[in-house]
Structure 1
Amino acid sequence: CVRVHPDAQVEVVVPRGTSRQHVSRFLAEHESWIARRLARLPLPKPEVFPPEALELTAVGECWRIHVAAGRGRTRLQVIAPGLLQLRGALDRADDLRRVLRRWVIEHGRAVLTPRVHARAALNGLAVSAVQVRTQRTRWGSCSHRRVICLNAAVLFQPPRVLDYLIAHELGHLRHMNHSAAFWRAVEGLEPDWRTLDRELLRGWERVPAWFRQRPTEDA
């Protein structure tokens, strides 16, 4: 299949072993469809970078950012409740992005891990570990070892969407597939899952461009 992402990236998913010629032919056959999808994408809004604040909507947090020019290693630290200081060479955007992304990921581990364990325990389920990191296309996953992985970008989503994503991955503790039984399990955890699943599909529109764009060497 072929997907057009909100950031105008075109992704082709094919079975392992598919030849380059087949992929090229597939893209040529879908060229007009891809062009129509790209034309429908909203024009990107100018984005201030570094941002004035981190709006972590999913967990109800807003962190203001004080930017200070400085020499040496770029760093980000909490200097007061709800206030971060980003210090470094302001012309080194890659370094600034890297430390901001790293902080969001690490903060995500701190706030999302207990939330997943608590939701699991509330429903009589057990999670062996929770991982939070960045992923290109996936919002979450659950392994056979009962390890749940969440994309740190979910922090920029509405709280109900975060709740649904957790419910979705908890559903995989019972069914490691997307069968009818799996969706019944999800519905037991989140009755409005259909609406929230559609919201999650649009989720990349809410993620800041600086977070989606990987620095040269990501954390």
Structure 2
Amino acid sequence: MKKYLVTGLLIWIPLGITLWVLHLLVSTMDQTLLLLPESWQPERWLGFRIPGLGVILSLVVVFATGIFATNVIGQRLIDYWEGLLGRIPVVKSIYYSVKQVSDSLFSSQGVAFRKALLIQYPRPGAWTIAFLTGRPGGDVANYLQGEYVSVYVPTTPNPTSGFFLMLPKSDVVELNLSVDAALKYIVSMGVVAPGAKPVADDRRRGPGDRPEQARVA
């Protein structure tokens, strides 16, 4: 009975969590329908509610915004809008802080969260997975001797919280591992071992050997 119970839980728990997350996302995005005028509400002229219409509306709005922002007129309006927000004291701090983070994360030119790393944390000899977020800048860089990199160390099993560290570049090992595979490894608490990609130099290391330091570009 224990075997069958555990097997059933292994099937229903991932399915239940997946459905719960999808329901949460769809319910949240359906709230965008409230932005429409009352006469345009789908429930008014259909007579019933269709879950998921808000998701379609959100995707259309985001896609249309992207098209609008790539032309000359759209860029000028965005510059004007950002200049207007920049004159409001509190809003300016919040908006530009969020914009800097989002630009770093989602920009194709950015390096944030593009590489999975192996570092010694929280003490020498203990290894954990981290993600490259960039390089120290501003006045902080003036106090760091040598080459340093900025890394984010996520917690397990919730990777949305973690620690920000600045480490010497020589102490960082670049993994031949995708960010998605590294996240799965972290969230599963090491249960779901990632499959390493084939590399040209596949040298075997003994159990006590220290991982070879790889260059982080």
Same fold (TM over 0.5): no
TM-score, length-scaled by structure 1: 0.26
Which of structures 1 and 2 has the bigger CA Rg? 2
TM-score, length-scaled by structure 2: 0.26
Structure 1 or 2: more helix by fraction: 2
> Taking CA–CA contacts closer than 8 Å with sequence separation of 6 or more, which of the two structures ends up with the larger relative contact order?
1
Structure 1 or 2: more strand by fraction: 1
